Amino acid sequence: MVKVEKSITASFDVDPQCGFTPLCPDELPVAEGHLIAEQLNEQAKFTNCRVVSKDCHPSEAPWIAASADQVMTPVEGDYPNLDIKWPAHCIVGTKGNSLIPTLPSEAEYDFVVEKGIEPEMHPYGACYHDLNEEISTGVIEWLKENNISQVIVGGLATDYCVKTTVLQLVKAGFKVILNMAACRGIADDSIQLAYQEMKDIGVTLIASSQELVS
Ligand code: VGL
């Protein structure tokens, strides 16, 4: 069991948006992505503080793949904050951008991170707007101001935005618990690598919120 002290712990929902679930099959659907909501709601019961990050993308950007065969190929041109191409997803004002319906409304969260609004930026982690991790989204500062030292993380996708956010939080000094039942990922091999990478830097991996005690 993993003991959690409510007053110093936050629950962090990484990109739990319809665009990463089978509810939006034309975006970036992660298998079973919509099923994470229940576990995110469970883990939040062990905290007084709930944070969410959202991909908020424009409809046109150099990283948007024009066809399926371009997905995950390198972005060409001088774009220091882009790496590979992805299908269009989580575009502001569309269903894909909205939170999975069984989660709280955005207004009910204590802090909301919006990232990826600029066409030439496509960050994965929720803590920085840029890949070099120089432009803060403000969430690390906010958590510290609120005396949070431990974070329980879940979200989409395990092998991209969740992993990157977890690494950023560890680097910033937080103790991180990853709730695996509250995550789903894109590819099995990269999910396993992500788990290993997180374990190696001291993240506590739990199978589900049932391993938490207050
Ligand atoms: C994500 C790939 C592309 C994620 C976002 O949220 O994990 N993955 N964009």
Distance 10 CA to ligand 1 centre (A): 22
Looking at ligand 1, which residue's alpha carbon is closest to its atom 8? Answer: 160
* CA 73 to centroid of ligand 1, rounded, Å: 14
Return the ligand 1 atom nearest residue 162 CA. Answer: 7
Distance 118 CA to ligand 1 centre (A): 15
Cβ pair 56, 92 in contact under 8 A: yes
Write down the pLDDT at residue 167.
Answer: 98
- Distance from C-alpha of 178 to C-alpha of 115, rounded to nearest angstrom: 21
ipTM over 0.90 threshold = yes
State the average pLDDT over residues 47-63: 98
- Provide mean pLDDT across the span 17-33: 98
17 phi and psi, to 5 degrees?
Answer: -110, 150
| pLDDT score for 92 | 98
Q: Are 161 and 124 in contact (CB under 8 A)?
A: yes
What CATH topology corresponds to 2-54+98-110+123-213?
Rossmann fold (3.40.50)
CA of 63 to the centre of ligand 1 (A): 12
pLDDT tens digits along 62-107:
999 999 999 999 999 999 999 999 999 999 999 999 999 999 999 9
Predicted pLDDT at 4: 97
pLDDT tens for 122-171 read 999 999 999 999 999 999 999 999 999 999 999 999 999 999 999 999 99
Put the strands of the sheet holding 204-206 in their side by side order: 111-115, 49-55, 9-14, 150-156, 175-184, 204-206
What is the percent of the chain with per-residue pLDDT over 70, rounded to a whole number? Answer: 100
In short, whether 130's Cβ falls inside 6 Å of ligand 1 is no
**Per-residue pLDDT, 81:** 97
Indicate which residue's Cα is closest to atom 6 of ligand 1: 161
